[in-house]
Amino acid sequence: MACAAAVFGAGCATQSNYPPAPAQAAVDDYTYLIGAGDLLNIIVWRNPELSMSVPVRPDGKLAAPLVEEIVAQGKTSTQLARDVEKQLGKYVRDPVVTVLVTAFVGPYSEQIRVIGEAARPQFLNYKKNMTLLDVMIAVGGLTDFAAGNNATILRTGDGGKQYAVRLKDLVKRGDVSANVEMRPGDILVIPQSLF
């Protein structure tokens, strides 16, 4: 009965089965990994005819002149540059290759997914030091039917641990103490309110 009466006031307090998300979660040594859909600029020093811009195909591979199909997904730009140098070394003397990522998508394992009662549920590319507030701004906030303080983060990088977050407090009430850092691969689940 007390909860029913509180509906017209502040609303019912909810108990989560999950611990609160840690405020500090960012990975200090985060390095971007190439993913399908990224656009790469391959620069071969002293060989402009071999330099070009190429997309990473949906299968995670790329192909360039004198470079057979090579796996790019899941590698850093430096690792990929060394792989391209090895293949070009068959045809070019001492190739020096630089790979620049010019359009970012990243591998699925690094993307942040937002599902449920967000205004625009979607996946987002992880950026170093990204916070829950950054994610909520990108997805346009909560719907009118969201149970924001019952939301959880499924942290795939921690073996699938789930943490409670207070989105309603953060987004609707401006309580920045509810802001937490995100990690690559996090899934933000925003359930629907029962009333």
* 54-98 pLDDT, tens digit each: 999 999 999 988 998 999 999 999 999 999 999 999 999 999 999
Q: Report the alpha-carbon distance of residue 61 to residue 66 in Å, rounded.
A: 15
Percent of the chain with pLDDT over 90: 75
The amino acid that residue 120 corresponds to is R
pLDDT of residue 3: 40
What domains, with CATH codes, occur in the chain?
A: 19-29+108-190 (3.10.560.10), 39-103 (3.30.1950.10)
- 147, 193 Cβ separation under 8 angstroms: yes
Note the pTM of the prediction, 2 decimals: 0.79
The sheet carrying 39-44 orders its strands as 52-55, 39-44, 97-103
* 35-44 pLDDT, tens digit each: 999 999 999 9
- 104, 130 Cβ separation under 8 angstroms: no
| DSSP tag of 70 | E
Residue 156: Cβ within 10 Å count: 15
Place 48 in a pLDDT band, splitting at 50, 70 and 90: very high
